[in-house]
């Protein structure tokens, strides 16, 4: 019997653009493995800070990357990254990590270490019986899965995104992170050509999700 197709859904966008809520909803609705790649960059950042390894100290960053052992744990429908057998906790949403993560994420060696790890999660999802995966980040549709079945790029006005973060009680330098994430040399935040671009400033999350769900359902429907 032929192996059923494994659907790949890529969702990219800036901070607080609606990626997390929409990808979680799609994961639940279509039984897709949910992957929040921002949490991977955050977990590595927290570990580097814990070890006192600055983003400007490239040899030390490289040395630390060589020492870290990455694994994956399934929590609900989400793939969480283990570093040396441990999944990071709330510290990855701290102000310190918010302030530093874009600087670490701009390091090509660090990104390279995550590319094969992230692609390998498709096998992890298959092995756990999912119909596909929905991966959210900044470079999923451009660099990680450029041939994804569905590619979305979410964006919203900065003021609205700041209001969303403040509503969650979080301090986040959204504009500054977006500036660094969009201007770095390796895999910058950008709308990849061919992706469906959705402005979420004035539409409800439900409307955004329905638009995305229709595209996903069309891919899953038998030809
Ligand atoms: O999605 P987030 O705000 O939790 O992501 C945190 C940071 O991680 C973001 O500012 C840039 C980086 N990141 C990245 O460079 N590439 C990704 N695929 C995901 C996140």
What pLDDT, in 10s, does the model give residues 47-90?
Answer: 999 999 999 999 999 999 999 999 999 999 999 999 999 999 99
188 lines ligand 1 (CB under 6 A): no
The answer to the question of residue 30 being in a domain is yes
At residue 171, does pLDDT exceed 80? no
The secondary element (H helix, E strand) that includes residue 73 is strand 70-75
Distance 223 CA to ligand 1 centre (A): 35
Q: How confident is the model at residue 172 (pLDDT cuts 50, 70, 90)?
A: confident
Provide the β-strand partners of residue 155: 199
pLDDT of residue 113: 94
Cβ-Cβ contacts under 8 Å for 114 (sequence gap 6 or more): 37, 40, 41, 44
pLDDT in tens, 129-169: 999 999 999 999 999 999 999 999 999 999 999 888 888 88
Distance 138 CA to ligand 1 centre (A): 6
The answer to the question of residue 3 being in a domain is no
212 lines ligand 1 (CB under 6 A): no
The answer to the question of residue 134 being in a domain is yes
Q: How confident is the model at residue 96 (pLDDT cuts 50, 70, 90)?
A: very high
CA-nearest of 38, 37, 5, 33 to 172 is 38
Distance 204 CA to ligand 1 centre (A): 23
The answer to the question of residue 222 being in a domain is no
- The Cα 30–Cα 149 span in angstroms is 14
Average pLDDT over the chain reads: 94
Phi-psi region of 113 (alpha: psi -120 to 50; beta: other; left: phi over 0): alpha
Distance 221 CA to ligand 1 centre (A): 32
Query: For the whole model, what pTM was predicted?
Result: 0.95
Distance 189 CA to ligand 1 centre (A): 9
- The Cα 174–Cα 14 span in angstroms is 8
- The Cα 115–Cα 48 span in angstroms is 19
| Residue of 23, 105, 121 best suited for mutating to test ligand 1, as the one with most atoms within 8 Å of CB | 105
Owner of token pair 């079945």 = 149
Q: What atom in ligand 1 is closest to the CA of residue 37?
A: 19
Provide the CATH number for the domain around residue 12: 3.40.50.300
pLDDT of residue 157: 93
- The Cα 209–Cα 137 span in angstroms is 17
The answer to the question of residue 203 being in a domain is yes
Residue whose Cα lies nearest atom 3 of ligand 1: it is 15
Total domains in the chain come to 1
At residue 33, does pLDDT exceed 90? yes
The answer to the question of residue 1 being in a domain is no
Name the residue range of residue 32's domain.
8-217
């Amino acid at each position: 019997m032929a192996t059923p197709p494994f659907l790949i859904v890529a969702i990219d966008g800036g901070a607080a653009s609606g990626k997390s809520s929409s990808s979680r909803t799609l994961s639940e609705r279509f039984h897709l493995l949910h992957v929040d790649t921002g949490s991977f960059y955050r977990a590595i950042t927290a570990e580097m800070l814990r070890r006192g390894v600055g983003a400007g100290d490239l040899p030390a960053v490289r040395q630390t990357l060589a020492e870290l052992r990455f694994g994956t744990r399934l929590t609900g429908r989400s793939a969480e990254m283990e570093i040396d057998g441990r999944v990071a906790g709330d510290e990855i949403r701290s102000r310190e990590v918010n302030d530093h993560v874009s600087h670490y994420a701009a390091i090509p060696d660090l990104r390279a270490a995550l590319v094969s790890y992230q692609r390998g999660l498709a096998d992890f999802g298959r092995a756990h019986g999912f119909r596909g995966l929905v991966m959210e980040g900044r470079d999923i549709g451009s660099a990680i899965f450029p041939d994804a079945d569905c590619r979305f790029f979410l964006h919203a006005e900065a003021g609205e995104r700041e209001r969303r973060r403040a509503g969650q009680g979080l301090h986040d330098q959204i504009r500054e992170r977006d500036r660094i994430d969009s201007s770095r040399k390796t895999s910058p935040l950008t709308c990849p050509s061919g992706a469906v671009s959705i402005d979420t400033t004035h539409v409800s999350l439900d409307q955004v999700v329905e638009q995305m769900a229709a595209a996903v359902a069309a891919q899953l429907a038998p030809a």
